[in-house]
Amino acid sequence: MEISVTASILLMLAGMAVPAFSDTIGDAEVASAQSMLSRVRTGVDFYNLQHRDQFPGEVSNIWEASTFDNQLRKSSDIDGNTAIQGTAGYPFGPYLTEPLPANPFNDLATVMLIAPGGSFSTPDDSTGWIYWADTGAFKINCSGNTSQGEAIYNL
């Protein structure tokens, strides 16, 4: 009888702890995503500041996610051409010292680059991140919601 009562109490406590623990994990993922977004957004802003109001992602009128990554992680000249850090004639950057982080919700580090004039309607979880080259906006590509019901995409 006593074992049964003890087991019942433990099961009730576990039933209360699991949802709280789940919310805590979700909150940690949100905090991690916000930190990652902040780092990349700061890099985009600094790149824009040093490159005559041009956002990263373009060289010779060709917009690519790989160019976006290179322009943030390598040194660059005023036209956005990149080289390894310390190369003469490439005085700007790098703006990020590590590869683009993985989205904590889908574990993808890829970027969907929306070129100027392009469109995007809703997050689809197909990449880790979404970047609008005409505005410099950088968002997480996640269709879920936080534990408070806020769209993760709007972080």
Q: 51-95 pLDDT, tens per residue?
A: 999 999 999 989 999 999 999 999 999 999 999 999 999 999 999
Instruction: Single out the residue of 60, 144, 68, 131 nearest to residue 105, CA to CA.
Output: 144
Q: Render pLDDT for 103-118 as a digit per residue (tens, 0 to 9).
A: 999 999 999 999 999 9
Instruction: Single out the residue of 8, 16, 32, 6 nearest to residue 142, CA to CA.
Output: 32
Overall average pLDDT of the 25-48 stretch:
89
Count of structural domains, the chain = 1
**CB-CB contact of 148 with 26 (8 Å):** no
pTM comes to 0.81
Q: What length is written for the chain?
A: 155
Output 33 or 47, whichever has higher pLDDT: 47
pLDDT at 22 over 60: no
Average pLDDT score over the chain: 88
Domain span at residue 36 reads: 2-154
Residue 104 to residues 1, 25, 40, 130, Cα–Cα distance (Å): 46, 11, 15, 14
